[in-house]
């Protein structure tokens, strides 16, 4: 069955619709970047009326904040997974860059200019805060680990002693 837009109608359970809308928004994000996302386009992509999308996301900004929060949660998992090696800071840095390269549109949304007021969105603020707390925890634990002193450190110490 086709809807008014000519696109096939999709039926989503009410509880699954927010996920379907986030998924549609992420597809648009990959194609057109953050500026290309709107509630109307996202609803059309998900195959639902705009009114259905508005029941879950009152505005474009609310939708974008939810997508960005999902991105921060994914970034936290990616970074936490690799933080157990011998060089946790290095591995976390690589995971961060890999995330940025693999999910460019999402990364741009997460750290771009559109959602600079994270405090207006508790879910986004909490997810972003969790990433920064994770980084802080990893940095502190890396400082506490004993380091081998190599030639560059010895040379620097000797230069300072003279």
Q: Which fold has domain 17-146?
A: Tetracycline Repressor; domain 2 (1.10.357)
Please tell me the number of Cα atoms within 13 Å of 145 on its side-chain side: 14
Distance of CA 98 to the CA centre of its chain: 12
For 67-103, the pLDDT digits (tens) are: 999 999 999 999 999 988 788 889 999 999 999 999 9
Q: For position 158, what pLDDT does the model report?
A: 43
Domain map (residue ranges) of the chain: 17-146
Spatial distance between the Cα atoms of 30 and 25, rounded to a whole number of angstroms: 9
Q: For position 141, what pLDDT does the model report?
A: 78
């Amino acid at each position: 069955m086709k809807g008014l837009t000519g696109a096939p109608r999709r039926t989503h359970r009410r509880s699954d619709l927010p996920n379907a809308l986030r998924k549609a928004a992420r597809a648009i994000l990959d194609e057109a970047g953050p500026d290309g996302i709107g509630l109307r386009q996202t609803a059309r992509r998900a195959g639902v009326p705009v009114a259905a999308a508005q029941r879950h996301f009152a505005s474009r900004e609310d939708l974008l904040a939810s997508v960005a929060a999902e991105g921060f949660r994914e970034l936290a998992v990616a970074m936490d997974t690799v933080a157990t090696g011998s060089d946790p800071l290095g591995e976390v840095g690589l995971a961060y860059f890999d995330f940025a390269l693999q999910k460019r549109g999402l990364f741009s949304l997460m750290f771009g200019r559109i959602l600079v007021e994270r405090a207006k969105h508790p879910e986004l603020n909490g997810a972003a805060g969790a990433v920064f707390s994770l980084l802080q925890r990893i940095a502190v634990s890396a400082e506490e680990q004993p380091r081998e002193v190599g030639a560059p450190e010895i040379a620097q110490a000797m230069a300072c002693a003279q």
